[in-house]
């Protein structure tokens, strides 16, 4: 059925209004971007680093499995920064690194009793175990069938390149619990407000002051900006 003149006029007006709204939205985005750059008194951040995964894929290495076993993992345990497994790596001054990536992960623990080490299973998607591909639900069911307690904790894994200490120039992973991720994200926002690229800034990781008391006391991560990366 052909449209009459009135109908066509309405359609034209609506389309023109939509186009004008799109133009205004784009203009506002540009204004906000410029405002951030001016406020920071610095050029907008730029990312010119080569993506190592993409580079390897171009060479035919497409089946990489990067998980908590791939690189040394830094954790805070008993008020000290340690490599997961127990070795203390912190001399009280923390360590310096350049951030490479950040992702969420989940730790499932099967606990037989207080005197036994728990069985651990990491999963980035809560569906499948990173190491084996086994469904998390199957592993949890197995633990419960044994009468074990099951715990799940959410963590963030920050990958970085060390710039000081015995591990200088090595890739490391920092295991950050939810209670500390706000501090890390705060540093990321501070760097961005200053008009810098977080991947071009040296960050220091430290043991924060103890929070809480008694059995619930813990030391969070603390982070400080050191200097632009060289």
DSSP-derived pairing of the beta strands 95-111 and 201-207: antiparallel
Predicted local distance difference test score (pLDDT) of residue 14: 43
Element holding 119 (H helix, E strand): strand 119-123
Q: Which residues of 7-26 are buried (b: 16+ CB within 10 A; e: fewer)?
A: eeeeeeeeeeeeeeeeeeee
What tokens does 109 get? 């623990």
Listed as ranges, residues in the chain with pLDDT below 50 are 1, 3, 5-8, 10-11, 14, 25-48
Closest C-alpha to 135, from 143, 126, 144: 126
**Coil, strand, or helix at residue 203?**
strand
Predicted local distance difference test score (pLDDT) of residue 216: 79
Predicted local distance difference test score (pLDDT) of residue 133: 87
Predicted local distance difference test score (pLDDT) of residue 20: 55
**Coil, strand, or helix at residue 53?**
helix
CB 224 within 8 A of CB 81: no
Q: With 0-12 CB in 10 A as exposed, 13-18 as middle and 19+ as buried, what is 155?
A: buried
What tokens does 86 get? 């127990």
d(CA 72, CA 78) in angstroms, rounded, equals: 18
Q: What is the DSSP string of 75-106?
A: EEETTEEEETTS-B---SS-EEEEEEEEEEEE
Predicted local distance difference test score (pLDDT) of residue 181: 92
How many Cα atoms within 13 Å fall on the side-chain side of residue 50?
A: 7
What tokens does 180 get? 């500390």
Predicted local distance difference test score (pLDDT) of residue 213: 82
Closest C-alpha to 192, from 157, 230, 225: 225
Predicted local distance difference test score (pLDDT) of residue 3: 46
Predicted local distance difference test score (pLDDT) of residue 87: 75
d(CA 175, CA 3) in angstroms, rounded, equals: 63
Predicted local distance difference test score (pLDDT) of residue 203: 95
The model's pTM is: 0.66
Tokens 């990067």 belong to 66
What tokens does 230 get? 């060289």
Predicted local distance difference test score (pLDDT) of residue 61: 83
Predicted local distance difference test score (pLDDT) of residue 38: 41
């Amino acid at each position: 059925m052909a449209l009459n003149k009135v109908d066509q006029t309405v359609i034209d007006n609506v389309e023109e209004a939509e186009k004008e709204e799109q133009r205004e939205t784009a203009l506002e985005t540009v204004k906000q971007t410029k405002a951030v750059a001016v406020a920071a008194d610095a050029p907008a951040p730029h990312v010119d680093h080569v993506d190592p995964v993409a580079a390897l894929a171009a060479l035919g290495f497409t089946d990489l499995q990067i998980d908590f076993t791939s690189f040394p993992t830094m954790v805070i345990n008993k008020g000290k920064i340690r490599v997961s497994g127990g070795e203390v790596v912190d001399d009280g001054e923390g360590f310096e690194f350049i951030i490479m990536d950040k992702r969420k992960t989940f730790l499932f623990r099967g606990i037989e009793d207080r005197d036994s080490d728990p069985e651990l299973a990491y999963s980035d998607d809560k569906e499948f175990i990173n190491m084996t591909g086994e469904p998390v639900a199957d592993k949890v069911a197995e633990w419960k069938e044994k009468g074990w307690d099951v715990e799940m904790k959410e963590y963030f894994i920050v990958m970085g390149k060390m710039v000081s200490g015995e591990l200088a120039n090595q890739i490391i992973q920092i295991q950050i619990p939810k209670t500390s991720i706000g501090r890390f994200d705060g540093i990321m926002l501070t760097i961005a407000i200053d008009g810098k690229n977080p991947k071009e800034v040296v960050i220091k990781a430290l043991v924060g002051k103890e929070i809480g008391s008694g059995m619930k006391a813990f030391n969070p991560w603390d982070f400080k900006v050191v200097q632009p990366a060289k």
